[in-house]
Copies of this chain bind each other. A is one copy, B any other.
Amino acid sequence: MGDLKRIKAAMVAIGDELLSGRTRDINIHKLAGWLTTRGVDLTEVRIVSDDEAAIVEAVNDLRARNKYVFTSGGIGPTHDDITANSIAAAFGLQITEREDAVAILQGWYDKAGEELTASRRRMARIPDGADLINNMVSGAPGFVLENVFVMAGVPGIFANMLSDIDPLIERGVKLNSVTIRGAIKESEIAEGLEALQADHPELAIGSYPGNMEQAKKKIRGVSVVIRGPEQAVLETLAKKVADLMRAVGADP
């Protein structure tokens, strides 16, 4: 799909719990779908630990070659929340307690009848020059620094912050996709698919073996996914893929 001007994005998911197997990340999948519907390509994701050097390297690598970088995790009130400091370090900026962020937190804790303790004030520490990202779930803000969007790891808050930054994200050419499923092995249509891909270098044709349902039974099959900007072209190709599948006995 080299001909289309694409908008590129990357993600850094931060947290020891993702690398130890304690937590199965969901934010990557959420962001991937969210960007796809906006015509933005997620080009790479890195999962790194709660380690400043690791965060700095990942963010600096990725912000240099993507229009947007999104991070998740590590912006809470506890000692293991080091993302804000690490982002400041990545940009070579100071990080200080910001009045507008303190005011937001104060408002939330006042409403809850709780105290804005020192730990909670940690969440108002924001690298110099960043804009805040609203958090309508629990108050503590994320922030945007140049092209880097720093957001929470808790899935409900991550999703809420995406809504807040939505107006800031440029839309690309939205890719449509069609999926053709058949109860075959992908190797049975591999040559046909390769020829179709060669004829249509502007499209992305993927072949994914997996489980599917047929007559209420779970059987092995393959899903062929074709992605491209023009739905009519995709539908023509989908018919050809279905023909490939029928030629080897499937009922796609």
Contact = CB atoms under 8 A, between A and B. Distances in A.
A154 interface: yes
Nearest to A54: B44
A150 interface: no
Given A117-B187, A154-B210, 12 more contacts: A18-B32, A20-B33, A43-B54, A44-B49, A44-B54, A45-B47, A76-B186, A76-B187, A77-B186, A78-B187, A119-B191, A120-B187
Task: Categorize the interface residue count of chain A.
Answer: 35 or more
A92 B188 CA distance: 31
A44 B48 contact: yes
A29 interface: yes
B21 A79 contact: no
Contacts of A47: 28, 44-47
Interface string A42-82: 11111111100010001000000000000000001111100
Interface of A: 16-26, 28-29, 32-36, 41-50, 54, 58, 76-80, 117-120, 122-123, 154, 177, 186-188, 190-191, 193-194, 197, 204-210, 225, 227
Nearest to A225: B22
Contact of A194 (B16, B18, B79): B79
Nearest to A35: B21
Q: Report the copy number of this chain in the oligomer.
A: 2
A33 B45 contact: no
A123 to B, nearest CB: 8
A44 B46 contact: yes
A206 B74 CA distance: 10
B45 A46 contact: yes
Contacts of A193: 78-79
B78 A186 contact: yes
Contacts of A49: 43-44
Contact of A29 (B21, B35, B76): B21
A28 B48 CA distance: 12
- Closest A-B pairs by Cβ, 9 of them: A21-B33, A119-B190, A21-B32, A77-B187, A79-B194, A45-B47, A78-B207, A24-B29, A19-B42
A44 B123 CA distance: 26
